[in-house]
Amino acid sequence: MRVSVIIRSKDEADRLRLTLHSLACQTRRAEVVVVNDGSRDHTAGVLDSARFFLPLTVIHHETPHGRSGAANVGVAAASGDIVIFLDGDTLAGPDFVARHVEAHSARGGVVARGEPYNLRCTRFLLDPEIGTPRPGEEDRVRRLDPVELARLRVTREELRGDFSAIDRRAQPGVYPGAGPRRLYEIEKDALHHHPNCRVLWAAASGVNMSVRREDFLRVGGFHHDLDINEHRELALKLCHRGARMVPVEARTYHMTHRTGWRDPMQQTRWEQVFYKAHPIPAVKLLVVFWASLSYGTLIPPDYRISSLPELEAAAAGNTRVDYDVVRRVIAGLARADGEPVLPA
């Protein structure tokens, strides 16, 4: 079974260097396809150097195509039977590729979701290996003694010889914080304990997720107008064609930074696009589910959706709750460009 790892990357050269080295240390090698999506930093030089130690295919975009467009181009260029998605600021655990292959070898027609972790220690660093600070963080980093700075850094030596030192500093969830960790726990619980839940596609991950390439192409890949939650829309399409979401014990490690995160509760265009493509109750209730985690006591207890089985029940109408009430609450809590969070 041939495997391709698809990496979307824009202006994260120093993190990308470490990501590529983590793929060079895999117990099972894979083709690596990097889409350099309009970078203006030294990404091109990092990729040229990586050709010496990785089977690498590189696609350069002069202007950004966005997450979905870049990933679709990467899959089109790939030769693997299985494609695994990764970002250019995310490390792969040593058995990352092998674990995804095992998931697809055990049964066909699956969407395999791994375990995304984050490295909060890198958030102030421009180059996590050298320890250079991000712009605006110079004083904070300068005040650190050498021992403290060493705890923040991630090095190629650790990737090659002591990956456990990286794993010990990691926390569950793509981003630091109680909210992302709670979402991670809810999704993991659903994948492991509710395998027949009809909304498991909502547990899809933008990184550390693998599918069969032919299935990806058959459903048209990522929606070209989505750059947030494009992975959930893809998983929904695949699950509606008979695929099953399954967990895989493959870890990735997001080298966090203090810029670049887009809050799906504040940037709402994705909802209109997603719901137009799939006008089903579960899509309309996604933000109710996330708002129940994000806004806590601001959502009345009877109106909260706190798990994927609860989302499934609400979408099926197996509740007496009038979700128009909670939609009005959410619309007042989070707006973007003057538009309500949920589609009308």
Q: What is the pLDDT of residues 189-204, one digit of tens each?
A: 999 999 999 999 999 9
* Residue 57, domain CATH: 3.90.550.10
Are residue 212 and residue 92 in the same domain, yes or no? yes
Which helix (H) or strand (E) segment is 56 a member of?
A: strand 56-61
Whether 205 and 273 map to the same domain: the answer is no
Q: 9-43: buried (b, 16+ CB within 10 Å) or exposed (e) per residue?
A: bbbbbbbbbbbbbbbbbbeeebbbbbbbbbbeeeb
139 assigned to some structural domain = no
Q: Are residues 250 and 274 in the same domain?
A: no
Query: Where among 255, 287, 306 does a domain terminate?
Result: 255
Residue 127 inside a domain? The answer is no
3-state DSSP assignment of residue 263? coil
Q: Could you tell me if 251 and 273 lie in one domain?
A: no
Residues 229 and 288 in one domain: no
* pTM reported for the whole predicted model: 0.92
Pair (196, 330) in one structural domain = no
Residue 36 pLDDT > 50: yes
Task: Indicate if 93 and 223 belong to the same structural domain.
Answer: yes
Quote the pLDDT of residue 303: 81
Do 288 and 238 share a structural domain?
A: no
Is the predicted pLDDT of residue 17 greater than 90, yes or no? yes
pLDDT reported for residue 9: 95
- Among residues 220, 255, 290, the one where a domain terminates is 255
In a domain, 279, yes or no: yes
Q: How many domains does one find in the chain?
A: 2
Domain C-terminal end among 190, 220, 255: 255
CA 11, CA 28: separation in Å to the nearest integer?
28
pLDDT of residue 341: 44
Residue 231 shares a structural domain with residue 85: yes
Shared domain for 250 and 185, answered yes or no, is yes
Residue 104 pLDDT exceeds 80: yes
Other Cβ atoms within 10 Å of 272 Cβ, number: 14
Same domain, 188 and 216: yes
Residue 93: domain span = 3-121+170-255
Burial label for 267, CB within 10 Å (0-12, 13-18, 19+), is middle
Domain check: are 244 and 295 in the same one? no
Residue 31 parent element (H or E) = strand 31-37
In a domain, 126, yes or no: no
Helix (H, G, I), strand (E, B) or coil at 23: helix
Q: What are phi and psi of 120, to 5 degrees?
A: -65, -25
% of residues, the chain, pLDDT over 90: 76
For residues 36 and 6, give the distance between their C-alpha atoms in angstroms, rounded to a whole number. 11
336 occurs within a structural domain: yes
pLDDT at 343: 43
Is the residue at 260 inside a domain? no
Spatial separation of the C-alpha atoms in residues 67 and 218, rounded to whole Å: 19
**Radius of gyration over every alpha carbon of the chain, rounded to an integer in angstroms:** 20
